[in-house]
Every structure is written in C-alpha cells, then in structure tokens.
C-alpha cells in the first residue's frame, strides 16, 4: 500500500539511486520508435481502418432507379428514387406502399426515411429490404421491364 508524500518529504530514489524528478520524459512515440514515422499498422502491412460512408448503400436496382440506404447517425433506413429530382417522383401506388411501411418523405434530403430503433433494428432492416423488393417489382411492372432483365446471374 502506498502513501501520499507530504511537501516536506524528499522524492523517492529513482533508478541507479539517482533522485527521481517530478517531471519525467514521456515515453518515446511508438509511431516514430523506429525512426521512419510509420504507424504500427503500416509497419506490419495492415491497412488503416476507414469507416463506411454514412449513409451507405445496401441495395440498388439501376433499371428501376431505386436505391436502399442505411444511415448510422441518425439511425434510419432510406429509399431514394432516381437522382432525387422532382421528375423522379414515384407513382401513387409506390407512394402508398411507402406509407404502408411507415416511411415518410424528407424533402431536404429528397428521400423516404424510416427511423431504426434499438429494440427493433433487425426487424426494421428486414422490412426495409422487403419494401425495397416490392417497390422495385411495382416500378418494373409500371415501366414494362421484365423481372429478370438487368440482373446478372
């Protein structure tokens, strides 16, 4: 058990019986320990961790012009039609399907969003993928695109 030193007491002896000083040099920088300025990950050949972009894409159908995204901050699922331009507005049947799944239009981001809650995150993600497939099917039917056209096997 150690006790606190009072201001009157001298400092304890350090290595080689030399008095220890109150200020000690910091340990050498591990990234520069070998003199070349590379980090440990770089020295052993590992790539540095780069986080995924936020939001990140989950699914896309180029022919139907539909993309499914997930955002981590804030946690939400998003579906975007076309390039987000006003002329890319989906049909009323697609809008009704989006509302059926409780997705709401976000005019500033020009996407349909649904929050992901901690207690139902897995179910929300599964439902989002199911909705994406249903919306793609509706749009392909409206445009006369075959269901397997544009898909690589």
pTM of the prediction?
A: 0.62
Q: What confidence score (pLDDT) does residue 113 get?
A: 96
Q: What confidence score (pLDDT) does residue 70 get?
A: 93
Q: What confidence score (pLDDT) does residue 135 get?
A: 95
Per-position b or e across 23-55, b if 16+ CB within 10 A of its CB: eeeeeeeeeeeeeeeeeeeeeeeeeeeeeeeeb
Spatial separation of the C-alpha atoms in residues 29 and 25, rounded to whole Å: 11
Q: What confidence score (pLDDT) does residue 87 get?
A: 76
**Which residues lie closer than 8 Å to 139 by C-beta, 6 or more apart?**
61, 64, 65, 66, 90, 91, 94, 145
Quickly tell me which residue has 């075959």 as its tokens: 146
Spatial separation of the C-alpha atoms in residues 41 and 31, rounded to whole Å: 9
Q: What confidence score (pLDDT) does residue 152 get?
A: 44
Q: What confidence score (pLDDT) does residue 153 get?
A: 37
Preceding peptide of 136 cis, ω within 30°: no
Contact 90, 139 (CB under 8 A): yes
Q: What is the mean pLDDT of each run of 10 residues along the chain (153 residues)?
A: 60 53 52 58 64 79 92 92 80 95 93 93 94 94 80 45
Contact 81, 143 (CB under 8 A): no
Neighbour order of strands in the sheet with 56-61: 56-61, 66-72, 75-81, 111-115, 104-106
Nearest to 64 by CA among 153, 152, 146: 146
């Amino acid at each position: 058990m150690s006790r606190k030193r009072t201001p009157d007491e001298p400092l304890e002896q350090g290595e080689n019986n030399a008095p220890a000083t109150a200020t000690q040099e910091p340990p050498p920088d591990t990234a520069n320990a070998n003199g070349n300025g590379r980090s440990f990950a770089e020295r052993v050949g590992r790539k540095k961790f780069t986080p995924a972009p936020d939001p990140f894409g989950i699914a896309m159908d180029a022919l139907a012009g539909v993309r499914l995204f997930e955002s981590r901050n804030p946690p939400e699922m998003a579906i975007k039609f076309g390039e987000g331009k006003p002329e890319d507005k989906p049909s009323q049947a697609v809008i009704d399907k989006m509302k059926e799944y409780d997705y709401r239009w976000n005019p500033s981001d020009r996407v349909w969003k649904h929050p992901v809650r901690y207690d139902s995150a897995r179910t929300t993600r599964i439902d989002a993928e199911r909705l994406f497939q249903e919306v793609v099917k509706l749009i392909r039917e409206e445009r006369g695109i075959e269901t397997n056209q544009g898909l690589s096997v």
